[in-house]
A = this chain, B = another copy of it.
Amino acid sequence: MRKVEIIGYGTCLPENTVEFDGQIRYRVGEGEKETQLTLAEKAAEKALKKAALSIEDIDLIVSASAVGVQPIPCTAALIHEKIAMGTDIPAMDINTTCTSFITAVDTISYLIDAGRYENVLIVSSELASCGLNPNQKESYELFSDGAAAVVLTGCTDSKSEILYGMQATWSEGVHATEIRGGLTGMHPRCHDESNKEDYLFDMKGIDVLSLAAKKLPLMFTAFLEHSSLTVNDIDCVVPHQASKALGLIMKKMNIPYEKYIDTVSLYGNMVSASVPVTFCNAIDEGRIQKGDVVLLCGTAAGLTTNFLAMRY
């Protein structure tokens, strides 16, 4: 049990929306000034305000995003420039693609519990629209841009805590979800008409789904066993809003409809920002209350899967 508490949270979605078959997607519009960093900055400011803290109270800034802003430096340093310039606050990136937020909370909670840091700002921000491929209808119509931030704090008098975390990576699926070009594997100077799709998001949806359907139920069974939790103990499941197949995967894991949140039609898949945006909205809507047992979970490119149970 790691004694940590989320004492502040905030989200920021682009103002511009688009619709595909009645499904709403948030995307930074052409010529608008919103960027991955402005979304991150606004979400972070809201989280600090909710926590009634100023940036000087923060001991660590973590960027928990899939795709960065620049190859160098890390995204957390660029967020630092927006919100913490002039301070000594350390900044680091933690990345497991779509589940980066869960991995960051899971990992950093150990450092808070051990007393290394007291207040940690974790920010997930994504500009998915920047890398979508119009020739891949499924993913082109699925993703949204967005950001969310939380302040994770050590606690002694609250009931809040991390109950159990588990992660697995199955690299059989490593090429089922990727953007191949942009870094050392394929430098931007090689970009041309013949390979331009290599620099865009490429998802083999069926492959991801079949690998996830095969692996997830077994892993979830192991998770429940190791954590000594039952599905009944869990008040709310906050899954990564991966796709319209979310309900199918939840069914495979025997999680009843009333336990989990599915907002794919309202927000789409915001990559790493999906889990924290869904989480923050659920708190605001009263669906998650203080003291509730919440399961954050999701499947990410890799293929990586995370489960993290916490008492909120």
A contact residues vs B (CB 8 Å cutoff): 2, 35-37, 61, 66-74, 76-78, 80-81, 84-86, 88-97, 103, 107, 110-111, 113-114, 116, 127, 130-131, 165, 167-172, 174, 177-189, 191, 196, 199, 201, 219, 300-304
Report whether B189 and A189 are in contact in the complex, using a CB–CB cutoff of 8 Å. Answer: no
CB contacts (< 8 Å) of A88 on chain B: these are: 168-170, 219
How far apart sit A36 and B169, CA to CA, in the bound complex (Å)?
20
How many monomers of this chain does the complex have?
A: 2
Most chain B CB within 10 A, of A73, A178, A196, A302, is at: A73
With contacts A171-B80, A174-B81, A183-B67 known, is A74 near B96, CB below 8 A? yes
Query: Which residue of chain B has the shortest Cβ distance to A168 in the bound complex?
Result: B88
A-B contact pairs, 22 of them (CB 8 A): A36-B184, A66-B71, A67-B183, A69-B184, A69-B185, A70-B181, A77-B96, A77-B174, A77-B301, A80-B174, A81-B171, A84-B171, A90-B96, A91-B302, A92-B167, A93-B94, A95-B95, A130-B184, A131-B184, A183-B183, A187-B199, A191-B191
In the complex, how many angstroms separate the beta carbon of A72 from the nearest chain B beta carbon?
4
Report whether B89 and A169 are in contact in the complex, using a CB–CB cutoff of 8 Å. Answer: yes
The 7 closest A-B pairs by CB, nearest first: A188-B188, A90-B167, A73-B301, A77-B302, A81-B171, A93-B95, A91-B169
Report whether A301 and B72 are in contact in the complex, using a CB–CB cutoff of 8 Å. Answer: yes
Query: Which residue of chain B has the shortest Cβ distance to A166 in the bound complex?
Result: B90
Pick the residue among B2, B67, B111 that contacts A72 (CB under 8 A): B67
In the complex, how many angstroms separate the beta carbon of A67 from the nearest chain B beta carbon?
5
